[in-house]
Structure 1
Amino acid sequence: MQGKLVRLRAYEKSDADALFRWFADAEVTRWLGPPNFPSRAQQEKFIELAAAGGDDAKYFAIETLDSRLIGDTGIRFIDWKSRKAEFFITIGEKHCWDKGFGSDALRIVIRLAFDRMNLNRLWLSVLADNARAVRCYEKCGFVREGLLRQESFVDGKYRDVHLMGLLREDYERTRGA
């Protein structure tokens, strides 16, 4: 699946080094909630599980159109009865932040969720003070639906978390815009 700046593809075994590097970087993981620095072996195991697929999650590597791996994204906790799933994304290559890669990847996942998977709702949680991410999500149509006060402990203090959602009807209304 391809957008204007990035394409989404299945993980490859060779991606484990980059995943390990990203998730061991405190600046990258700061916005992802509690620190989790899995080993390279754990990253390899994750890639195997992602490749095996499953009915409750879809995982993708994000690469630039010139085939440079820069992040990962997907949807998880897919609830087929209620037709909803949680969106997640990490742009692990910091020099790629604020360049539109995340928004482009998000738009691809949104199209996948609504046009191909027939979901009705995507949701996510984001630290309220992660202005870059909140701006990206709102630009792609997500709206703030709730606030979990002092939900995450980051950088030595409790931080609020926004719950955001995007409904199929909102996507369909703005798709042509």
Structure 2
Amino acid sequence: MKIQLRRFVKEDIPNKVRWINDENNNQYLHYDLPLNIPQTEIWYENNKYRADRYDAVIECDDVPVGLIGLLSISGGRAEYYITLGEQEFKGKGIAKEATYLLLHYAFSEIGLQEVYLYTEIDNTSAQRLFERCGFIKMGLERDSVVNRGKSVDRYYYVVSSDDKSKG
């Protein structure tokens, strides 16, 4: 399998809407659901030239299978996100390889020193991925966000540019 990342483009909007609206994908995502194409087109136009974020599509053998990126790029840091949208591609190491590619981009190409993320405490499959990719669990934030009307606890993870365990 050839895994690669490419910048998100307008033509990716239908896939993003489908992936985010899929109940198999969105349990731990913090979106106003359901997404629709017109609102996502507005999001795209408002964000496509921003220097403080990097939105990419994960491709497996040239097939778009998910979303990955960096938010709040500032001061040598950025927040990581990922959603593998296509069910048949889950559990094959694609998210891990995509994460390594994104961390390489973050540290080697744009010179970040740290990438961080938050994940709900119940999202154990994501936590396994993050830990395999070198992220270190730094703490627990209680009632730190509201998801579907319910206050939830989240773990805070960090990986730094000098961490030798990343890809």
TM-score normalised over the length of structure 1: 0.84
Give the equivalent residue in structure 2 for 1:96: 89
Give the drift of 1:175. 5.2
Question: Could you say what the CA RMSD is over the residues aligned between the two structures, in angstroms?
Answer: 2.1
Task: Report the counterpart of residue 64 of structure 2 in structure 1.
Answer: 69
* Aligned residue identity for 1:23: I
Q: What is the deviation of 1:152?
A: 4.1
Q: Would you say the 8 A contact 2:133–2:166 is kept in 1?
A: no
Inter-CA distance 77–175: structure 2 relative to 1 (3 Å threshold): closer
24-33 or 104-113, which deviates more:
24-33
Q: 1:96 to 1:35 in 2, by over 3 A?
A: farther
Aligned 1:1-177 pairs, distance under 5 A:
5-33=2-30, 35-50=32-47, 52-65=48-61, 67-79=62-74, 82-154=75-147, 158-170=151-163, 173-174=164-165
Q: 1:10 to 1:96 in 2, by over 3 A?
A: same
5+ long unaligned stretches in structure 2: none
Q: Distance in 1 between matches of 2:63 and 2:88?
A: 12
Is the helix fraction higher in 1 or 2?
1
Give, as a single letter, the amino acid of the residue that structure 1 aligns with 2:44: I
* Distance (Å, rounded) in 2 between the aligned partners of 1:99 and 1:110: 19
Q: Aligned to 1:138, what secondary structure does the other structure show?
A: helix
Question: Structure 1: 5+ residue runs without aligned partners?
Answer: none
> Deviations 1:85-109 (Å, cap 9, x if unpaired)?
1011111112222221111111001
CA distance in 1 between counterparts of 2:145 and 2:59 reads: 30
Deviations 1:114-147 (A, max 9, x none): 1111111000001111111100000010000110
1:26, distance to aligned residue in structure 2 (A): 2.6
Matched to 2:63, the amino acid is: R
CA distance in structure 2 between the aligned counterparts of 1:155 and 1:77, rounded to whole angstroms: 23
Aligned sequence identity (%): 28
Output the CA distance in 1 between the equivalents of 2:33 and 2:145: 14
The count of residues paired between Structure 1 and Structure 2 equals 167
The 1:54–1:155 alpha-carbon spacing in structure 2 relative to 1, beyond 3 Å, is closer
Q: Is the 8 A contact 1:98 1:132 kept in 2?
A: no
8 Å CA contact 2:78–2:116 kept in 1: the answer is yes
3-state DSSP of counterpart to 2:24: helix
| 1:29/1:35 contact within 8 Å kept | no
TM-score by length of 2: 0.88
